[in-house]
Chains A and B, each alone.
Chain A
Amino acid sequence: MSTTVTLRIDGRNVTVEKFSTILDAARTLEIPIPTLCHHPDLVPYGGCRLCLVEIKGAPRPVASCTTFVKDGLEVTTSSPRLERLRKTTLELILSDHPRDCMTCERAGDCKLQELAYFYGIRDPRFEGERRIYRTKDKNPCIARDMEKCILCGLCVRVCDEIQGVAAIDFAYRGFRTMVTPPFERELDCEFCGQCVAVCPTGALTGAMWAQKGRQDMRDVETICPYCGCGCTLTLHIRRNEVIRVSSRRETLNEGWLCAKGRFGYEFIHRTDRLKKPLVRIVPKSEAAALVKSGWSHERAASFFREVSWDDALDLVAARLGEIKERHGSDAIGGISSARCTNEENYLFQKFIRGAIGTNNVDHCARY
């Protein structure tokens, strides 16, 4: 039995795996079909009705994301009728959507805004009741603005199907339907932010993104500094500052991150970063006492005075030289870092072995 199916989309033949959807098949031909509730890693949902297509012989349009391909299907993805339906659907969504793109964190990265732009919807035809929700989140990671929620269910599904947490779900029915944690309590979850990553509008955004900028951003792809999974991060940079972190789906981690990877970047720009070489000016016992009880960063900083790089490096080189001379190379040890790069680790052990002359070099693999 054949495992593939051949159908015709917009006059072009395409052969795809059995149990593909019409949407999958169209995407292999790079035919654009608008969607708001679809994600390739989630179970098809058929909620937003934007992916409607016409099938020759079928009485009415069907959602391409939930319709399987069949041999010999003839599919049309765009026609005046389909575009009219899509525009009306968008107008209905927008009739109950805050028009505050001016200040919305998602502007420029919002699927709803982009579709409104393509369909030329400035003022929706429909005026009607509005959902008024009080934003009450106290959680520090995920800002929820439920008035912007279009009920596509992506967040609900990603939380369940990918993260396996199911911290949120639909509550109430009809016009009052909303996505919420149980009993409308505060969000209390793993804060992985997969929901933020899949949200097509400004309903879910990173709390720390607020007013950090939406334009003039530069993207740099790098690797997460935390655990050993090695997730690829896209750092969004504005004026020498990391203002957002995201991850592309075409990565080893498939775009999924954890709370640390997605939201844990603030340390980069903390004002208490070390900025100058330091030399200690108080007895070590004071430092030891501070570490054991009542730590204060200001006190710790007061133990040192700032010096120039040359002075600091000269001092360390001279003292290491003395110790090597007096006690031998093996009286010196180097502890390297699992947070540093391969290149830095290579250089570190080469320095300890080649310049100091000892094999006393290790890192934190055991902790």
Chain B
Amino acid sequence: MTNSIEEIEHHDVIFVIGSNTTETHPIIALRMKRAVRKGATLIVADPRKIDLVRFARLWLPLRPGTDSALLNAMMHVIIREGLIDRTFIDARTEGFEALRESLLDCSPEWAADVTGVPAGDIVRAARLYGNASHPGIYYTMGITQHSHGTENVFAIANLALMTGNLGKKSVGVNPLRGQNNVQGATDMGCIPDFLPGYQKVAVPEIRRKFEKAWGVTLSDRPGLTATDMVKAALSGTIRALYIMGENSVLSDPDRDRTIRALQGLDLLVVQDIFLTETAALADVVFPAACFAEKDGTFTNTERRVQRVRKAVEPPGEARDDARIIAELSGRFGFDLTYDSIEDVFREAGRLWPALAGITYRRIAKTGLQWPCPTRDHPGTRYLFKGSFPRGRAAFQTVRFRPPLELPDEDYPLLLSTGRHLFHYHTASMTGRVESLVRIEPKPYVEISAADAEALGILHGENVRVSSRRGAIELEARISARPIKGVVFIPFHYRDAAANALTHSALDPLSRIPELKVCAVKIERVAQSTATTRQKED
């Protein structure tokens, strides 16, 4: 997030696109609801009539994968009606002319055709955002999990930049991070092209700095992303994987392909708190401690580094991950033992100045938001005040591209996947919480009444959903949420793994899979199948 969670309630316009905020970030959604109560205007762009729509002035029910068309048309209107911020564009950006030209033919009428959103509503949304004094854009995987996810993000950035809506209190662009420490894992360099603190491995001076600190020689070749590692495992270039706290079999696209990839490895090591579907394929499994059993820090979606404290002892011989890694590393003659876990944090702070001012003592009560370079720095509430890291922000021309696999005659429906409120990711944790399981015990597919009627499907009956990659059986839920032609399956359930169906197409830049769009068909199944027998009621 460029802004802080606290700043949400001071927006006058909130534009949520591709985020089911009340279910995936419930507490951030509370702030949005408060903002609306205080008079803010909420615009929601989503192919489903998600709960947040109840609070919105305007719902833009766009077809999945057409976000950049919608955004481009909004920008077209903003330019046409003179709602751009010339001063900001001149002072802090570059490449506006090229962008402006690229948007000339992106009329609301054209976008209405592509997205399914009425042209008038696109104009209204553009005017609301363009005239706002403190607007904030919020998005999650609905924007990014596409084969053109990076372009979608560029389009959002273009919209914010041309209206000067970045770098101020309660004004900004806010991707909401989906997992408790996905921000921190990225900050800490668990990404193939960056060392900790977004420092490029390809740059010799940076490598030298880390080589000196760590006493080793580092590879200058950027590595593979998780998605590409699975690919490389299939082709045999990756022979061993060490997976810590990840359930790739259920979370990655095209489950059967993931299983094939992991099966073909010479060595798979999985470190986890449960015997997950991924751990079941491992050669060696290390039992780890969970969040309540260790000390350290998590960094939340607003870059706030917060203290994690050990509350209970881990079960049996389970050990915290830091110790397991250190023991393994010692066997390679690379010492990773530290006197205390805070020493690890201090080392990260020495190598990445944004953390240098944060100590466990300073965050004992409340966390601090990076960048926080010195001990007396109060942390940074919002980013890009006055300048951007690269100097001027560059507009990136985005041409709308459709998703790679769209519905056709054989697979006439569009499948989107995601989470619901009561489970989390592959449910390795929430699936073991009786109360949550009882609220949402089993997988389902959300389908519009129009599509259900056309297929002769009744509410609550079992259906077979298949794509070119796999098939699952699960309960049909006729719902007012998805627009016609779109079905939604939560990916939490092992027994009807949504990712048995999804497409492994990747975004060329970010290498994110296109989990939000693939083509499926739905058929009724006889009531005597295994899934039906599992029915609880």
Contact = CB atoms under 8 A, between A and B. Distances in A.
Interface residues of A, number: 122
Contacts of A173: none
A167 interface: no
B174 to A, nearest CB: 11
B203 interface: no
Contacts of A116: none
A272 interface: yes
B421 A347 contact: no
Interface in B180-215: 180-193, 195-196, 201, 210, 214
Interface residues of B, number: 161
A34 interface: no
Interface stretch (A77-85, A120-128, A197-205, A328-336): A328-336
A345 B229 contact: no
B88 interface: no
Contact of A208 (B181, B310, B435): B435
Contact of A225 (B195, B291, B439): B291
B96 interface: no
A335 B248 contact: yes
B284 A315 contact: yes
A309 interface: yes
A332 B180 contact: no
Contacts of B26: 190, 192, 227, 229, 258
Interface stretch (B98-106, B131-139, B324-332, B371-379): B324-332
Contact of A343 (B242, B296, B429): B296
B64 to A, nearest CB: 17
A276 to B, nearest CB: 5
Contact of A349 (B189, B310, B438): B189
Prevailing SS type, chain B contact patch: mixed
A248 to B, nearest CB: 10
A359 B239 contact: no
Interface string B41-76: 000000000000011000000000000000000000
Given A208-B435, A223-B298, A280-B284, A353 B242 contact: no
A338 B426 CA distance: 13
B177 A258 contact: no
Nearest to A347: B325
A366 B285 contact: no
Given A229-B301, A295-B494, A345 B274 contact: no
B201 to A, nearest CB: 5
Given A340-B244, A343-B297, A279 B181 contact: no
Can you list the 9 inter-chain pairs with the closest CB atoms, starting with the nearest?
A230-B300, A275-B316, A337-B245, A341-B296, A359-B223, A274-B287, A228-B177, A317-B331, A258-B26
Given A272-B275, A347-B344, A353-B218, 4 more contacts: A260-B423, A267-B432, A341-B295, A365-B186
13 contacts: A190-B26, A230-B180, A251-B366, A252-B6, A258-B27, A264-B435, A317-B328, A323-B240, A332-B242, A336-B185, A344-B320, A347-B325, A347-B326
